[in-house]
């Protein structure tokens, strides 16, 4: 039995959350550019949850923008799909399955462009959501009269121009535009490109003014790991349990965050689905969420990856199953990173709560996050994510952030790289790791003299934008940890460190 509307009545609602007939009849309020798993696992999840609670009462028209294939796989299942949430939340194991009915139609831009433009005439249509990857929001020479325009901004501009004409440029016909592409200031960049395209296409001052004043462009930050399809055996087991087949089934972690920047009450009213879940925030500024994610999630990953590899761990979940490593990560966030991110917008309690959610995410037994992947561009990631925290920690406490120093020591040891053909590789615990780092050659040269490698690495402004030897005691701490890691190994160093201070 395949998942579709007709078969819903035969599916056991005790094992999976099912949509009601009323939900399936709701009008389209959202046009979404993209069919990717992040959109289906985050925005569409929130919309479906809100519809279940009778809050938003609207569904999503999805535009499939890629040239690969059509919308057949969605049509076969009446656009229904199962979302399996698996992981850890608030320290408790979570496994939840729900049939998501947020999508009403999936139309192909290449085949159904006329039908997509017709949707601009629907008065209930109020929201634009997109995730066209980082390369989607780019400038182009698009003509909006093309069928369809080539770029995402071109398609969106054509849709908005059609709406402008359909409603005679009324202020009420403007839309809330919420891009989720993972680029900084995503909405501002999209708006700027649309305005440039409007000028190129000679759409007139009246339309340009409507575009600027009647539409709300909201910067966003999204965060949820949505691996997508489950492993084949795991999917079969879930399908057997639920009693149906689902070619669109995807998995997501429990953690979810969608921060939307707006101080406008109309925006808040239109995006009423935000009331349905604690993971959505409509706030005047999303900077707080960007800082928390950058420092406590990304920064913790970066400063820990070298140490994890030296300790012999392949995946994040494997490392977090080790008591000493898990304690180290928690202590690192609570004692060094969280205090350093506190400012006029972020309280220590907020930072601590975010840190605890990170522990849940790192401990997810259903995710295979490879430490080796996290070492990609190791140096530049650490320069952006971790080095500013050293300055902030010294300003706060005027002492060495010991666990950060240990992470830097592990980085230096990991970056004892060698040339293998045209590429650099690192070696640890009998394994060889490919190293993709623009500064690999510099570190390789510094390791030609092990006696000065720490001094040279910490002092190189090309790597860090500053001389880290200028922080009192930092050089000595890193050297001591390098020696400990070389003589005792990473696992024993961690065990000793968290039973008593080694420096």
Find the CATH number of the domain harbouring 327. 1.10.1040.10
Locate tokens 């080694």: which residue?
502
3 within some domain = no
Sheet holding 216-217, edge to edge: 103-108, 59-64, 28-33, 127-130, 176-179, 216-217
Residue with tokens 């929001």: 137
**pLDDT for res 67:** 54
Residues 275 and 378 in one domain: no
Q: Which of 221, 252, 283 is the last residue of a domain?
A: 283
210: Cβ–Cβ under 8 A, 6 or more apart, which residues?
164, 169, 171, 174
The pTM is what? Answer: 0.94
Residues with Cβ within 8 Å of 68's Cβ and at least 6 positions away in sequence, in order, are none
CA distance to 99, 177, 251, 255, 333, per residue, from 94 (Å): 17, 32, 12, 11, 24
Question: How many CA atoms does the CB half-sphere of 344 hold within 13 Å?
Answer: 1
| Residues 272 and 297 placed together within one structural domain of the fold | no
Q: Are residues 317 and 237 in the same domain?
A: no
Q: What total of structural domains would you count in the chain?
A: 2
pLDDT of residue 33: 96
Length of the chain: 503
CA dihedral 340, 342, 347, 352 (to 10 degrees): -20
Rounded to an integer, what distance in angstroms lies between the CA atom of residue 350 and that of residue 254? 19
Is 242 inside a domain boundary?
A: yes
Whether the Cβ atoms of residue 291 and residue 324 lie closer than 8 Å to each other: no
**Is residue 272 domain-shared with residue 392, that is, in the same domain?**
no
Is residue 232 domain-shared with residue 294, that is, in the same domain?
Answer: no
**What pLDDT shows up at residue 272?**
98
Residue 336 shares a structural domain with residue 230 = no
- By C-alpha distance, which of 168, 71, 173 is closest to 122? 173
Q: Which domain holds residue 13?
A: 8-283
pLDDT at residue 501, rounded to an integer: 45
Residue 237's H or E segment, with its range, is: helix 232-242
Report pLDDT digits (tens) over 439-457.
Answer: 999 999 999 999 999 999 9
Going by the DSSP 8-state scheme, the letter that residue 181 receives in this structure is: -
Q: How many helices (H) and strands (E) does the chain have?
A: 25, 15
Write a three-state SS string for 186-211: HHHHHHHHHHHHHHHCCCCHHHHHHH
What residues contact residue 442 under an 8 Å CB cut-off, 6+ apart? Answer: 460, 462, 463
Q: Are 171 and 214 found together in one domain?
A: yes
366 and 222 belong to one structural domain: no
Residues 442, 464 contacting (CB under 8 angstroms): no
What are 423's strand-pairing partners?
420
Contacts of 475 (CB under 8 A, 6+ apart): 454, 455, 458, 468, 469
CA–CA distance, 47 with 58 (Å, rounded to integer): 8
> What span, in angstroms and rounded, lies between the C-alpha atoms of 80 and 101?
5
**Per-residue pLDDT tens digits for 42-61:** 999 999 999 999 999 999 99
- Domain membership of residue 2 (yes or no) is no
Can you list the residues of the chain whose pLDDT is less than 70? 66-71, 134, 500-503
Reduced to 3 states, what is the DSSP secondary structure of residue 46?
helix
**Beta-carbon count within 10 A of 496 CB:** 14
């Amino acid at each position: 039995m395949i998942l579709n509307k007709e078969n819903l009545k035969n599916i056991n609602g005790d094992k999976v959350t099912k949509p009601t007939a009323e939900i399936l009849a709701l009008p389209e309020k959202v046009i979404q550019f993209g069919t990717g798993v992040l959109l289906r696992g985050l925005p569409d999840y929130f919309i479906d949850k809100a519809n279940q609670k009778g809050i938003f009462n609207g569904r999503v028209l999805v535009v499939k923008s890629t040239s690969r294939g059509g919308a057949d796989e969605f049509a076969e299942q009446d656009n229904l799909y199962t979302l399996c949430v698996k992981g850890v939340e608030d320290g408790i194991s979570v496994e939840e399955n729900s049939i998501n009915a947020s999508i009403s139609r999936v139309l192909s831009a290449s085949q159904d462009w006329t039908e997509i433009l017709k949707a601009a005439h629907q008065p209930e249509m109020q929201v634009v959501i997109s995730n066209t990857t980082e390369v989607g929001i780019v400038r182009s020479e698009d003509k909006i009269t093309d069928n369809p325009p080539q770029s995402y901004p071109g398609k969106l501009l054509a849709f908005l121009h059609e709406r402008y004409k359909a409603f005679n440029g009324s202020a009420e016909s403007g839309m809330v535009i919420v891009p989720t592409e993972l680029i900084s200031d995503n909405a501002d960049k999209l708006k700027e490109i649309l305005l440039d395209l409007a000028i190129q296409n000679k759409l007139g001052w009246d339309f340009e003014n409507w575009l600027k004043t009647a539409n709300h462009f909201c910067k966003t930050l999204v965060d949820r790991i949505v691996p997508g399809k489950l492993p084949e055996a795991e999917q079969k087991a879930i399908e057997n349990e639920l009693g149906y087949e689902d070619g669109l089934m995807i998995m997501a972690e429990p953690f979810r965050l969608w921060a939307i920047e707006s101080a406008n009450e109309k925006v808040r009213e239109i995006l009423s689905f935000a009331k349905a879940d604690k993971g959505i925030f409509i706030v005047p500024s999303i900077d707080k969420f960007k800082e928390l994610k950058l420092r406590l999630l990304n920064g913790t990953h970066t400063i820990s990856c070298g140490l994890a590899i030296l300790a012999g761990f392949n995946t994040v979940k494997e490392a977090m199953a080790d008591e000493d490593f898990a304690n180290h990560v928690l202590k690192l966030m609570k004692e060094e990173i969280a205090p350093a991110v506190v400012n006029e917008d972020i309280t220590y309690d907020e930072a601590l709560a975010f840190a605890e959610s990170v522990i849940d995410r790192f401990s997810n037994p259903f995710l295979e996050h490879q430490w080796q992947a996290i070492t990609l561009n190791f140096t530049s990631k650490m320069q952006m994510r971790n080095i500013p925290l050293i300055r902030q920690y010294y300003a706060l406490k005027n002492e060495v952030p010991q666990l950060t120093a240990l992470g830097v020591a592990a980085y230096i040891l990991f970056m004892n790289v060698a040339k293998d053909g045209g590429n650099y590789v690192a070696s640890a615990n009998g394994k060889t790791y490919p190293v993709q780092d623009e500064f690999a050659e510099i570190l390789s040269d510094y390791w030609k003299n092990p006696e000065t490698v720490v001094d040279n690495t910490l002092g190189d402004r090309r790597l860090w934008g500053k001389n880290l030897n200028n922080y009192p005691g930092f050089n000595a701490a890193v050297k001591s940890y390098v020696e400990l890691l070389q003589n005792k190994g990473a696992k024993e160093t961690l065990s000793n460190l968290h039973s008593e201070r080694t420096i």
